[in-house]
Amino acid sequence: MSMRMRRKRNFDARMEACADLLLAKGANGILNMKEAAENFRALIDFKSVFQNDNPVALEIGCGKGGFVRELAKRNPGVNYLALEKMSNVILTPLEDVKKEGVENIRFLNIRAECLPCYIPEGSLDAIYLNFSTPLPKLGYATQRLTHRNFLEVYKKLLKKGGKVLQKTDNREFFDFSLEEFAFCGFDLQNVTYDLHENGNPEWNIVTEYEKKWVEQGLPIHRLEGVWNG
């Protein structure tokens, strides 16, 4: 069986209908820095995109987008960017946001590796990493979204005092992340190995993957890494 997901019906026309919400896309998403550099025009001007000066937060690997949509509805005074590398996957949250008319979300169909070509330095208040692919094989460590190479990029993109907020069900990935955050000089806060110990906290927005793991009784690990400069 092919690893590639079959394209959704009328894919191109449906993506086009959401073009106003999509700040970056390639034929198949922007997948590497070479492609990002070739397509580079200018860093995103948040004020002109959102028509306000509100703080901006980013979710990396938004998947079906349930988390970012709920977060944006709970926080109308914050602007959200939702990043997802898979074109076929990003279409669902694009259409949901369009249909619901949520005004404070825009999307990037790019790989996280390409962020510096889009986001101005020192511009983000928060970066959310929800159930990022754990990539357990040692040879893939540099591709984990909490590898120090990524954390160094996040440090540049965050404002002083900005946070990276991570949730995962994978203990090895979580322990790896704790070490990487400490190594890169983030202050760790609110670290828990069992977020749902006493039921879901009212402030916590359960993602699609989180729901699956919680139903199977798996503990959810969560951390906040604060960049104080």
Ligand X SMILES: C[S@@+](CC[C@H](N)C(=O)[O-])C[C@H]1O[C@@H](n2cnc3c(N)ncnc32)[C@H](O)[C@@H]1O
Residue nearer to ligand X on the CB measure, 4 or 48: 4
d(CA 122, CA 119) in angstroms, rounded, equals: 9
H-run or E-run covering 167: strand 158-168
59 class by beta-carbon count within 10 Å (0-12 exposed, 13-18 middle, 19+ buried):
buried
Q: Which two tokens stand for residue 145?
A: 């979204």
In angstroms, what is the minimal distance from the CB of 75 to ligand X?
18
Residue nearer to ligand X on the CB measure, 27 or 77: 27
In angstroms, what is the minimal distance from the CB of 128 to ligand X?
8
Is the Cβ–Cβ distance between 36 and 117 less than 8 Å?
yes
Neighbours of 180 (CB within 10 A): 19
In angstroms, what is the minimal distance from the CB of 160 to ligand X?
25
In angstroms, what is the minimal distance from the CB of 64 to ligand X?
6
Residues 66-105 within binding reach of ligand X (CB under 6 A) = 83-86, 89
Applying CB under 6 A, the site for ligand X has a residue count of 19
In angstroms, what is the minimal distance from the CB of 147 to ligand X?
11
**Which residue of 131, 173, 186, 213 would you call a contact of ligand X, by CB under 6 A?**
131
Taking the C-alpha atoms of 141, 142, 144 and 149 in order, what is their torsion angle to the nearest 10 degrees? 140
* DSSP conformation letters of 172-196: HHHHHHHHHHHHTTPEEEEEES-TT
**Which residue of 63, 93, 162, 225 would you call a contact of ligand X, by CB under 6 A?**
63
Residue nearer to ligand X on the CB measure, 86 or 218: 86
Residue nearer to ligand X on the CB measure, 14 or 64: 64
- In sequence order, the β-bridge partners of residue 60 are 83, 129
166 Cβ partners below 8 Å, 6+ apart?
128, 129, 130, 132, 146, 174, 177, 222, 223, 224, 225
Taking the C-alpha atoms of 199, 170, 155 and 62 in order, what is their torsion angle to the nearest 10 degrees? -70
Q: Does 134 bind ligand X (CB under 6 A)?
A: no
Residue nearer to ligand X on the CB measure, 180 or 210: 210
Q: Does 133 bind ligand X (CB under 6 A)?
A: yes
Residues 142-171 within binding reach of ligand X (CB under 6 A) = none
Residues 190-229 within binding reach of ligand X (CB under 6 A) = 207-210
Q: Does 28 bind ligand X (CB under 6 A)?
A: no
Residues at the contact surface with ligand X, assessed by CB under 6 A: 60-63, 83-86, 89, 111-112, 130-133, 207-210
